[in-house]
Structures are given as structure tokens and as C-alpha cells.
Amino acid sequence: MKMSFRWYGKDDPVSLQYISQIPNMHSIVSAVYDVKPGGVWSQESIDEIAAECAKHNLVFDVVESIPVHEDIKLGRGKCDEYIENYKENIRRCAKAGVKCVCYNFMPVFDWTRTQMDKMAPDGSTSLVMYMKQLEGIDPINDGLDLPGWDASYEKEELKELLIAYGSLGEEGLWKNLEHFLKEVIPVAAECGVRMAIHPDDPPYPIFGLPRIITCEKNLDRMLAIVDSPANSLTFCTGSLGCASFNDIPKMVRKYAEKDRIGFLHMRNVLLMDDGSFEERGHLSCGGSLDMYEITKALVDNGFDGYVRPDHGRMIWGEVGRWGYGLYDRALGATYLNGLFEACEKANAKK
Ligand code: DNO
């Protein structure tokens, strides 16, 4: 396992120096943030991230994300040009030492929550999704600005996209994913890069948009499109784990055994009866997921990919990006390091 940490570049309030002080920190997960989806990243920008990381004894070997342009997901417009650009980005990242590229195939919106600062009795805050609040959201008229949402869409554009995806439907989206993978995976394989798709978060349709990277059956289908280790998963325990139909430890074991997990996002969620969920601290005792069983499933299968502590709570008065402060993610990394060491040593004694 290689422990990693997401860093949003020079504007990130969390510095590389602080990240490097977290025990056992190895890799930086980052991206070029000033190029629009569909564009080509300059080699200099990519190399600069790698050089900054190296100054702190960290390795920039995971990209999250190279965004997939909506034209690719919709199979229209400049789809083929954007796919060529995507391939070029993979080649350039590989040149700078990147080994794994995380991406997603969610229409229009990335991860969705209904409240970013839900306060727990201990005064910490975290991200939540309450079904009651979700029902009240009108994605077109509410002018939402949630992390992961591209706030640059005009109302009319957004309306058009929602209609286009409505008529594309799930099977249309599968067809476009298939085209994308068949084009991009061979290039990644050639460069020694593992593409790692991030599941839809949450893993079910929202606002009438199709979502397909949601459950075991669909992950199987996605992996079968190109049966290569370069076509892998970013197994996000919190995203898949906020639907009760996903048995997370079982799925981790299955895909680790098949060597189809390139990258893991590890975090815990508390799942509620009506499908609502709250993000919690990383420990098993904080939520619905058994983080020990998940780690054991990885270690039993000799997992040697990347792991990052995903979203943390805001604690100790920290102010920063929702889910991406330093303190709680660092606690998460330390906890996960402990789980891995314990599982590895227990296995070594057998
Ligand atoms: C949320 C993240 C996602 C993820 C993308 C990957 O915190 O896990 O935004 O980066 O979905 O493409």
C-alpha cells in the first residue's frame, strides 16, 4: 500500500510541508487546475507539480482527476477531439512519473451533498446528504455552488445538458463509456498508467441524470469492457458505501483479488434508514462501514496500490476546503496506517 494525500496545488491552504510530516506519507494526489475540461495540460505545469512534491520528499504519482468533457459522456460535438486530448494528457502525466489517473463518468455533477457544515454534538462539522433536503433542491434555479460542481454553467446550458442526458439514458451513457475506454485504456497501458474510475457519489441517479458506476454488477460490466489492469477502479468506500445494496468489504475483497483496484479512497459514512447519510471520522466506530474488514480484504490480497484518507471532518477550528482540511485527514491516515500494519503483521505470523 502506498499512502497518499490529496493536494489542490499552490492555493491549497494545506502545505506540502505539513503533508510530508504525516507519518508514512508517500504520494501526492493532484491535478492541473487551470485548464478547462477537454483541454491539454502543459508539460511544464505537470512537471512543476512533480518538482514541488519532490522538494518535500513526496512523489506525484496519482492524478485526480483528468476531467472527462461532457461531449465525451454525451458522445457528441467535439467528443473525438477531446478523447485525443485526453490521451495526450495521459502521456504527459506518465512522462512526469504519474502511475494512476482517477476520473469519473458522472453526468454534469460530481459528488453531491445537501449540507457541508452539519455540526455534530462535539462541535466538529462534516458533509451530509439528507434526502429531505435533496427533495427541496432545484438544480437549475437554485444557483448551487457545491464543491465538485462546475459553477460556470449558465442556466440555459444546464437545462440543455439535463435534457440531453435525459434522452441519452443509462444505456446511452454505457455506450459512450465503452467508446472512451476502448480508446483511452490502450494508451494508458502503453504508458504504464492505471486508469481508475471513481464511482458515482452518491451511487444512484440524482436530478433525473443517469448514473452507472454504482454497484457490483455495474462495476463488473465496466471492468469487462476492457479486461486489463490498466482499466481499474478508484474504490471509494464512502461513495459506494452510502447505498445499502453495496457490501463494501465483500466488493473490496473481490476486486483486490482480481487486481482491479488501482486506488482507494477510504472514509466512513453513517447510513440512515431513509437513505440519507452523514460523513464521519474514518474509524469503524464512527459509521456504518467496517474499516478493519476493508483493510484486511486488501492486505489478504497483497494490495500494493494507492490509498488516500478521503474527506475529513472540520475539527480543532480549522477553516479550509470542505472535506479537505489537514487535521482530520491526517488522523485518518494515521488510523489507516495502523490498520494496515496490524493486518500485515497478523498475516506474516500465520
Ligand atoms: C470528492 C472526490 C471526487 C473525485 C472525482 C474523481 O471528494 O472524491 O470529486 O475527485 O469524482 O473524478
Distance CA 158, CA 339 (A): 43
Per residue of the chain (350 residues), give pLDDT as tens: 999 999 999 999 999 999 999 999 999 999 999 999 999 999 999 999 999 999 999 999 999 999 999 999 999 999 999 999 999 999 999 999 999 999 999 999 888 899 999 999 999 999 999 999 988 888 778 766 666 666 677 788 888 999 999 999 999 999 999 999 999 999 999 999 999 999 999 999 888 899 999 999 999 999 999 999 999 999 999 999 999 999 999 999 999 999 999 999 999 999 999 999 999 999 999 999 999 999 999 999 999 999 999 999 999 999 999 999 999 999 999 999 999 999 999 999 98
Distance from Cα 337 to the centre of ligand 1, integer Å = 22
Q: Whose alpha carbon is nearest atom 3 of ligand 1?
A: 111
Among 344, 268, 340, CA closest to 306: 340
Distance CA 248, CA 297 (A): 10
Asked if the structure places residue 295 within a domain, the reply is yes
Distance CA 20, CA 18 (A): 5
For residue 6, what is the domain's CATH number?
3.20.20.150
Looking at the 3D structure of the chain, how many domains does it have? 1
Q: Which domain holds residue 178?
A: 2-108+170-272+282-348
Asked if the structure places residue 121 within a domain, the reply is no
Pocket test for ligand 1, best of 4, 89, 110 (most atoms within 8 A of CB): 110
Among 254, 259, 277, 258, CA closest to 267: 277
User: Which pTM was predicted?
Assistant: 0.96
Asked if the structure places residue 142 within a domain, the reply is no
Asked if the structure places residue 277 within a domain, the reply is no
Cβ atoms of 72 and 83 within 8 Å: the answer is yes
211 in contact with ligand 1, CB cutoff 6 A: no
Asked if the structure places residue 12 within a domain, the reply is yes
